[in-house]
Amino acid sequence: MTEAGAGAGQAKVVTVSDGVAAGVREDLSGVALADVLGRAGFEVVERSVIPDGVASVAGELTRLSVSFWGLVVTTGGTGFAPHDQTPEGTREIVEREAPGLAEAMRLASPLGRLSRGIAGIRGKSIILNTPGSPKGAVECLEAVLDVLPHALELLGGQPGHHP
């Protein structure tokens, strides 16, 4: 996956927001995440927008991870508001959690302590929850971006060297 000259892998970005899904807010966070992923060498192969909710998140993450070897990053729904249920929807479908990634993302900034986002694995997909603000989403992703290509190699069963 990360041979010399090759990209970091494939990625998908999901914006979880009632306002963006209804067309009354612009998707700044999804755009910001896609930009960062592209600059890091990931090929963003899909972007989607869904409303808040456990069922919508679980359904979309299931759809996106079927037969997909890559990274799936969500933005939105990780806070304390009653409608913030992205971690609950994610937890329903991950097979194994990756707490080190979630912890590193929370340490990216002081406001990270208010994120309930999780990280986990489903099949050959790594799923990361990031906050809904563009700045928070980018800070959280950048906190783990350096280890993700290696993590994906390991998840895909590629013997790669340890960085």
The predicted-structure confidence for 84-117, as pLDDT tens digits, reads as follows 999 999 999 999 999 999 999 999 999 999 999 9
Structural domain contains residue 2: no
Strands 125-130 and 70-75: parallel
- CA distance to 20, 59, 95, 140, per residue, from 51 (Å): 8, 11, 23, 21
CATH number, position 96: 3.40.980.10
Structural domain contains residue 5: no
Structural domain contains residue 139: yes
Which residue range is the domain that position 93 belongs to?
A: 10-155
**pTM for the complete prediction?**
0.93
Q: What is the pLDDT of residues 141-162, one digit of tens each?
A: 999 999 999 999 999 987 655 5
Q: What is the pLDDT of residues 39-90, one digit of tens each?
A: 999 999 999 999 999 999 999 999 999 999 999 999 999 999 999 999 999 9
Structural domain contains residue 148: yes
pLDDT for the residue numbered 143: 98
pLDDT for the residue numbered 99: 97
Cβ–Cβ < 8 Å for 58, 24: no
Number of domains within the chain: 1
pLDDT for the residue numbered 44: 98
- Quote the mean pLDDT of the chain: 93
123: its two tokens: 């099949």
Q: Tally Cβ neighbours within 10 Å of residue 103.
A: 13
Q: What is the pLDDT of residues 7-35, one digit of tens each?
A: 789 999 999 999 999 999 999 999 999 99
Structural domain contains residue 161: no
2 pLDDT higher than 50: no
Structural domain contains residue 75: yes
Structural domain contains residue 142: yes
Dihedral pair phi/psi, residue 155, rounded to 5°: -65, -35
Structural domain contains residue 127: yes
- Reported confidence tier of residue 3, pLDDT bands at 50, 70, 90: very low
pLDDT for the residue numbered 159: 66
- CA distance to 42, 149, 161, per residue, from 54 (Å): 27, 28, 37
